[in-house]
Amino acid sequence: MRIADVAVHACRLPPTSPWEDATNRVQGLEFIFVELTTDNGLKGSGITYTVDIGGTAIATLISDYLAPLVIGMDARNFEAIWTKLNRQARRLGLGVNSMAIAAIDIAVWDLIGKAKGEPLYRLLGGARETIPAYISEINLSASDTIVDLVRRIDDYKARGYRAVKIKIGHDDPGLDIARITAVKERLGNGTQLFVDLNQKWQPAEAIQKMARLDTFELGWVEEPLLYQDIEGHARLRRSMKTPLALGESLYSRQQFQAYLAADAVDIVQADIAFVGGVTEWLKVAHLANGYGRRVAPHYMMELSLSLLCGVSNGFMLEDVVGGGLYDLGLIHNRIVPVDGVATPPQTPGHGLEINWDTVKRHRLTGETVRTSFAGGSK
Ligand SMILES: [Mg+2]
């Protein structure tokens, strides 16, 4: 089953609801798709993404540099393919290269599933048939009132979610406390609330503010500090009672290893696209397992679902408001949680049926990005 052809497609489109957190305003999501065709006629698709920046660089890296390297390789040998690509791309550091490798790696796993006639979650171990999901909103705009927020919480509850994540990190800490208080009260018993700082706080500020947040018995606090600050997270974690979640800004198993060895993380949030695909994500998940930690992957719900059901330390699936691939029109099949519980696709491979019409309609080129990108970091 040798790889005979690699096609690359990229698109840019806004989330279906506006995204704003403590440190970013998001204008566009960029998705890069890879289609692999084998010499025996199988087709596998892979996907990676970026938030607002770098999609054209990733698409070019794949089509000009990485695609020629995998032509002729046996698609069953996911380790050989991943290792070859990673060795070649390591001059680029971390990030852009692992995101590019992810698209190819995911397509390789799709091919393996199709060749074996097995869904992805079973290839990875088939640890469970379903996984609970939490609804994750990205709405910290100045115009968002507590009345608006509580109304959305009612909607999430009505849809069957028992766990919710909200953004915090207002300059006025009283506003954060007011939002958390209102949401906790509205959610009621038997629910979980997670909060996400998106790296907003300084280390000393975080220790002080967490003392107050600890009283709310939150499910976790996410990315309180700059992602590079391993020692700061370790120190903060020693001072707080709330579980600490992070990992969406890490790009390799070695970066996760450093956090785990420093006892600086409770919930591991590796993103399949950012760490380089299924192959590296699995290593991160098993590494976390060795440290007795659970995984709750960042975004990419439609693929994360199969990952979480594959491994034994899967915790919870993130369903991001405004970012679902079906809602964005990027897949034909509706892969969504029902009553707060998600079931992985049972079809061979990852089960995502890409809607190529949407990809074409929102095609990403240098020109489209030059006319639409203005930078949203705060
Ligand atoms: Mg986050």
DSSP assignment letter at 349 = B
CA of 94 to the centre of ligand 1 (A): 19
Establish if 349 belongs to a structural domain: no
CA of 55 to the centre of ligand 1 (A): 20
Q: How far apart, in whole angstroms, are the C-alpha atoms of residue 193 and residue 177?
A: 13
Establish if 378 belongs to a structural domain: no
pLDDT of 130: 98
User: Is residue 230 domain-shared with residue 173, that is, in the same domain?
Assistant: yes
pLDDT at 293 over 90: yes
Buried b / exposed e along 265-303 (16+ C-beta atoms within 10 A): bbbbbbbbbbbbbbbbbbbbbebbbebebbbbbbbbbbb
**Residues 338, 377: contact at Cβ < 8 Å?**
no
Span 68-96, average pLDDT: 96
Establish if 178 belongs to a structural domain: yes
CA of 200 to the centre of ligand 1 (A): 11
Establish if 238 belongs to a structural domain: yes
> Which CATH number belongs to the domain containing residue 48 in this structure?
3.30.390.10
Q: What is the pTM of this model?
A: 0.98
Q: What is the pLDDT of residues 250-279, one digit of tens each?
A: 999 999 999 999 999 999 999 999 999 999
User: Is residue 149 domain-shared with residue 33, that is, in the same domain?
Assistant: no
| Catalytic annotation, residues | 167, 298
Q: How confident is the model at residue 371 (pLDDT cuts 50, 70, 90)?
A: confident
Task: Take residue 295 and report the two structure tokens written for it.
Answer: 């995984």
CA of 198 to the centre of ligand 1 (A): 6
**Residues 283, 253: contact at Cβ < 8 Å?**
yes
User: Is residue 113 domain-shared with residue 58, that is, in the same domain?
Assistant: yes
User: Is residue 125 domain-shared with residue 114, that is, in the same domain?
Assistant: no
Which residues on neighbouring strands pair with residue 35, listed in sequence order? 7, 45
User: Is residue 78 domain-shared with residue 138, that is, in the same domain?
Assistant: no
User: Is residue 359 domain-shared with residue 248, that is, in the same domain?
Assistant: no
CA of 349 to the centre of ligand 1 (A): 28
Mean pLDDT, rounded, of the chain: 97
CA of 248 to the centre of ligand 1 (A): 7
> Which CATH number belongs to the domain containing residue 138 in this structure?
3.20.20.120
Tokens 């080129």 locate to 365
Q: What is the pLDDT of residues 28-69, one digit of tens each?
A: 999 999 999 999 999 999 999 999 999 999 999 999 999 999
| DSSP secondary structure letters along 107-142 | HHHHHHHHHHT-BHHHHTT---S-EEEEEE--B--T
Establish if 105 belongs to a structural domain: yes
pLDDT of 95: 94
User: What residues does the ion ligand 1 have nearby, CB within 5 Å?
Assistant: 196, 222
Span 231-235, average pLDDT: 98
Domain of 224?
A: 121-342
CA of 114 to the centre of ligand 1 (A): 32
User: Is residue 96 domain-shared with residue 146, that is, in the same domain?
Assistant: no
CA of 222 to the centre of ligand 1 (A): 6
Give me the percent of the chain exceeding a pLDDT of 70: 100
pLDDT of 178: 98
Q: How many domains in the chain?
A: 2
Establish if 248 belongs to a structural domain: yes
pLDDT at 238 over 90: yes
Q: How confident is the model at residue 372 (pLDDT cuts 50, 70, 90)?
A: confident
Q: What is the pLDDT of residues 166-198, one digit of tens each?
A: 999 999 999 999 999 999 999 999 999 999 999
pLDDT at 97 over 90: yes
Establish if 318 belongs to a structural domain: yes
CA of 51 to the centre of ligand 1 (A): 12
